[in-house]
Amino acid sequence: MLTPGGRKILDAASGLFYGRGINAVGVDLIAREAGVTKKTLYDRFGSKETLVAAYLRERDQRWRDWLTGRVEAAGDTPYARVLAAFDALAEWMRRENPRGCGFVNAAAELPDASHPGRAVIEGQKHWMRGYLRELCAGTGAADPAELADELLLLYEGATVLGGLEITPAPAATARSLAVLALERAGCRHP
């Protein structure tokens, strides 16, 4: 549990890290935006690196809750749930991800494998892979793990292209390609 000061710091850091980039934001700015002293920031988090990891953990939990909630509400067939994951991504990108995937962005800024944020980033991507594998397991695919990996590539590509604004509707395009991948894998469509 965070103290009220810790909550203000994490909220300020989250907006700044995603909006401006982790390396472009210093602790002075975070403390100023949060309305606290640098001493309070260090008392609550110990270091900027720990604060970065906390930001990424919280963002990951929000994403997981968002995605699983949307997928569960989409229907009871595995096929529908797989496609709902892409629909949820499109909505998330419109509402929460105008600069692309926060984890991909953070990974580009944190090349040091020992940074505590790297473990959070990798954990998030492993979770996403596992979640897609769960969704694919009941689809009747000849190789659900291979299908899930293919879908993960589509998913991640959509988040990157969405942040760069290279294509007009990357999540919708990824969803269309997911339909083709499901059909190619022999999945049962209700």
HEC string of 91-133 equals HHHHHCCCCCCHHHHHHHHCCCCCCHHHHHHHHHHHHHHHHHH
CA-CA distance, 143 to 78, in Å (whole number)? 14
Q: How many CB atoms lie within 10 A of CB 170?
A: 24
* CB neighbour list of residue 142: distance below 8 Å, 6 or more residues apart: 185, 186
Rama region for 75: left / alpha / beta (φ>0; ψ in -120 to 50; rest): left
Average pLDDT, the chain: 93
Torsion of Cα atoms, 34 then 25 then 102 then 168, to 10°: 110
Residue-level pLDDT, tens digit, the chain, 190 residues: 788 999 999 999 999 999 999 999 999 999 999 999 999 999 999 999 999 999 999 999 999 999 999 999 987 899 999 999 999 999 998 887 778 899 999 999 999 999 999 999 999 999 999 999 999 998 999 999 999 999 999 999 999 998 887 888 999 999 999 999 999 998 877 6
Tokens for 106? 């953070």
Which of 151, 164, 8 shows the shortest CA–CA distance to 79?
A: 151
Domains located in the chain, CATH noted: 1-46 (1.10.10.60), 48-185 (1.10.357.10)
* CB neighbour list of residue 24: distance below 8 Å, 6 or more residues apart: none
Which of 95, 101, 109, 111 shows the shortest CA–CA distance to 161?
A: 101
Structure confidence by residue, pLDDT tens digits, 85-134:
999 999 998 887 778 899 999 999 999 999 999 999 999 999 999 999 99
| Cβ pair 31, 45 in contact under 8 A | no
